[in-house]
Chain A
Amino acid sequence: NAGVTQTPKFRILKIGQSMTLQCTQDMNHNYMYWYRQDPGMGLKLIYYSVGAGITDKGEVPNGYNVSRSTTEDFPLRLELAAPSQTSVYFCASSATSKSSYEQYFGPGTRLTVT
């Protein structure tokens, strides 16, 4: 049971390039989330999904896109990368149980846009 895995761990992008951050969970969780973490700013929700085929915007969705074709995978797409997207990105998942709302986080992807 690997939990939540993210690839790549590190990436440097040039302004205007695009890339996809991969996220996979093997816990059969319906809920998945993408956050960005900036220094001193905590975590901001980018997008979330309540199940395959269903996604919704979080606090800071501009410049990003997501898709959820399977329960396991929730990729985050950056189009036309900008320096403001330099951050650490975390994917998380949670089960649909009212006894526990615990979110399980992946190890993160550190992205630098120059």
Chain B
Amino acid sequence: QQQVKQSPQSLIVQKGGISIINCAYENTAFDYFPWYQQFPGKGPALLIAIRPDVSEKKEGRFTISFNKSAKQFSLHIMDSQPGDSATYFCAASLGGFNKFYFGSGTKLNVKP
């Protein structure tokens, strides 16, 4: 059973547009929801994360929206740039340190 479902699988956005990636989770005990960014040939790197006691977190052009009742969270990239072209993974974990469950990834292509 897939604990975290991510969509879309791929996304093409024009420069300056808004990129939106969605994730849904099953386990209501999850208490930490990070988003990771991965460039080709590199390991994932933490982009932004949220805990379920807040509904939104913003860091620069990146925003996480969290809907606890719907068990969904999403990543919004405002003013998308070609340098944002990468694969994005959502994840969820229990207690933070131990078992992280990752979504299947979204390959974002921002066209100039």
A45→B43 contact, CB < 8 A: no
Which B residue's beta carbon lies closest to that of A9? B41
Q: Which residues of A contact B46 (CB under 8 A)?
A: 102-103
B32 close to A (CB within 8 Å): yes
A42 touches B104 (CB 8 A): yes
Q: How far is the CA of A105 from the CA of B39 in the complex (A)?
A: 12
Contact status of A90 and B43, CB under 8 A, knowing A101-B32, A101-B49? yes
| Across-interface contacts of A48 in B (CB, < 8 A) | 98-99
- The segment from B12-20, B56-64, B73-81, B89-97 found at the interface with A is B89-97
Interface size for chain A: under 10, 10 to 19, 20 to 34, or 35 or more residues? 20 to 34
Contact B43 A92 (CB under 8 A): yes
Decide: B89 and A31 in contact? CB cutoff 8 A.
no
**Once the chains bind, are A107 and B42 in contact (CB under 8 Å)?**
yes
A-B contact count (CB 8 A): 59
A69 within 8 A of B: no
* Chain B residues, CB < 8 A from A101: 32, 34, 49, 93, 96-97
Name 19 extra pairs, CB < 8 A, besides A43-B89, A92-B43, A105-B43: A40-B9, A41-B104, A42-B6, A42-B102, A42-B104, A43-B102, A44-B102, A45-B99, A50-B98, A56-B98, A101-B32, A101-B93, A101-B96, A102-B46, A103-B46, A103-B100, A106-B43, A107-B43, A108-B41
The 9 closest A-B pairs by CB, nearest first: A105-B43, A101-B96, A42-B102, A43-B102, A42-B104, A102-B46, A105-B44, A31-B97, A90-B43
- 10 A-B pairs within 8 Å (CB atoms) are namely A35-B102, A40-B105, A42-B103, A43-B89, A48-B98, A59-B101, A94-B97, A107-B42, A107-B43, A108-B41
